[in-house]
């Protein structure tokens, strides 16, 4: 197959490039390198079936080559990034999605949009099934990301209904693993970076807010199975239902570094920070036969080992 991945130099995008190449496919990664990094793909430079195209998908993309799959992963995805690039975030969720859909339509390709659990906002239903419409502040500081993804989902469904384009929508819950940036503001790399530097770990609020962390290899496997489905146009959650408090995650990382639990610094909770987040993955289990296989302890061990080796570059 011939695969095009927007945001291919990003954290998840680069792991997808690895997986599709390992499966024997040809891969074109498209990225403007706003938050992605060409270093994530350096190990693929000698691969004859791989190419990186530096391009901003918020402008139309014309290609002469055939394409079988278009996977749209281009977007700032961490709070630090989308608060620093609010307009770029909204543009890639709207114009970028439009251009990616148009490319898929021109090529007769399957299309997948990487949406997010952020479409559920600060949920009043727990865990969150795909049928839940969410509890979102449409003008809050996080809305540039939340609403961009909600719009992207609506546009994708419009292309499916109007053009009968073969589309997929995945809602990604918190994912972690190698190639995250230490400074991207998300809990796991932030805690690891602070531990590597011997700094206190910063926990917001009392640390009682919960998240469900999915190791990146598990997520990639779920995405691969979604693309292999003949009919799957409605959104599907991909994430790990193993719910933990942020304070528990901080303590696990401290323990991995042999540091005392007293090295935690509490700070005020950010605006609109969700109190709880856990996916209902019943649909993924029944339709895809998929559920996460990597435990939190194993995933953290692998992630910490990678950062110990790459901390200077990260």
Read off the DSSP letter of residue 137.
-
CA torsion 114-117-75-41 (nearest 10°) is: -70
Task: Specify the pLDDT at position 313.
Answer: 46
Return the percentage of the chain with pLDDT > 90, whole number: 90
Task: Specify the pLDDT at position 152.
Answer: 98
218 closest CA partner among 16, 61, 38, 23: 16
Task: Specify the pLDDT at position 165.
Answer: 98
Per residue in 68-113, pLDDT tens?
A: 999 999 999 998 999 999 999 999 999 999 999 999 999 999 999 9
Lookup: tokens for 209: 């807010």
DSSP 196-260: HTTPPEEEETTS--EEE-EEHHHHHHHHHHHHT-SS--S-EEES---EEEHHHHHHHHHHHTT--
Catalytic (active site) residue 145? yes
Which pTM value belongs to this model? Answer: 0.94
In the predicted model, what is the mean pLDDT of the chain? 95
**Which residue of the set 69, 82, 145, 176 is catalytic?**
145
Lookup: tokens for 80: 């630090």
Q: Domains along the chain? A: 2-173+216-239+279-293 (3.40.50.720)
The Cα–Cα gap between 181 and 205 comes to: 23
Task: Specify the pLDDT at position 23.
Answer: 97
DSSP-derived pairing of the beta strands 243-245 and 210-212: antiparallel
Average pLDDT value for residue range 30-52: 97
Per residue in 227-266, pLDDT tens?
A: 999 889 999 999 999 999 999 999 999 999 988 777 899 9
| Banded pLDDT at 225 (limits 50, 70, 90) | very high
Return the percentage of the chain with pLDDT > 70, whole number: 99
Per residue in 161-215, pLDDT tens?
A: 999 999 999 999 999 999 999 888 899 999 999 999 999 999 999 999 999 999 9
Q: Is 314 a residue whose pLDDT tops 70?
A: no
Cβ atoms 134, 188 nearer than 8 A: no
Between 112-121, 127-136, 154-163, 268-277, the lowest mean confidence (pLDDT) is in 268-277
What residues form DSSP beta bridges with 111? 70, 167
Q: Is 34 a residue whose pLDDT tops 80?
A: yes
| Banded pLDDT at 312 (limits 50, 70, 90) | low
């Amino acid at each position: 197959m011939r695969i095009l991945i927007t945001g291919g130099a990003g954290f998840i995008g680069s792991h997808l490039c690895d997986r599709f190449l390992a499966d024997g496919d040809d891969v074109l990664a498209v990225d403007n390198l706003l938050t992605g990094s060409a270093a994530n793909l350096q190990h693929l430079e000698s691969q004859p079936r791989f190419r990186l195209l530096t391009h901003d998908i918020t402008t139309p993309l014309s290609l002469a080559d055939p394409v079988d799959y278009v996977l749209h992963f281009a977007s700032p995805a961490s709070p630090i990034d989308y608060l620093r690039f609010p307009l770029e975030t909204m543009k890639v969720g709207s114009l970028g999605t439009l251009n990616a859909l148009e490319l898929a339509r021109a090529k007769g390709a399957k299309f997948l949009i990487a949406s997010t659990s952020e479409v559920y906002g600060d949920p009043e239903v727990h865990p969150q099934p795909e049928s839940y419409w969410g509890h979102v502040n449409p003008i809050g500081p996080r809305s540039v990301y939340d609403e961009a993804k909600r719009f992207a989902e609506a546009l994708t469904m419009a292309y499916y209904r109007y053009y009968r384009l073969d589309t997929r929508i995945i809602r990604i819950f918190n994912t972690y693993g190698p190639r995250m940036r230490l400074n991207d503001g998300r809990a796991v790399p932030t805690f690891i970076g602070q531990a590597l530097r011997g700094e206190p770990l910063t926990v917001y609020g009392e640390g009682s807010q919960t998240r469900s962390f999915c190791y990146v290899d598990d997520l990639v496997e779920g995405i691969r199975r979604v693309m292999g489905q003949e009919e799957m146009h409605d959104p599907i959650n991909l994430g790990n239902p193993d719910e933990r408090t942020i304070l528990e995650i901080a303590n696990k990382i401290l323990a991995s570094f042999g540091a005392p639990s007293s090295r935690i610094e509490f700070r005020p909770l950010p605006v609109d920070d969700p109190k709880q987040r856990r996916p209902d993955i019943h649909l993924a289990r029944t339709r895809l036969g998929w559920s996460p296989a990597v435990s939190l302890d194993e995933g953290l061990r692998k992630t910490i080992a990678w950062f110990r080796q790459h901390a200077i570059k990260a």
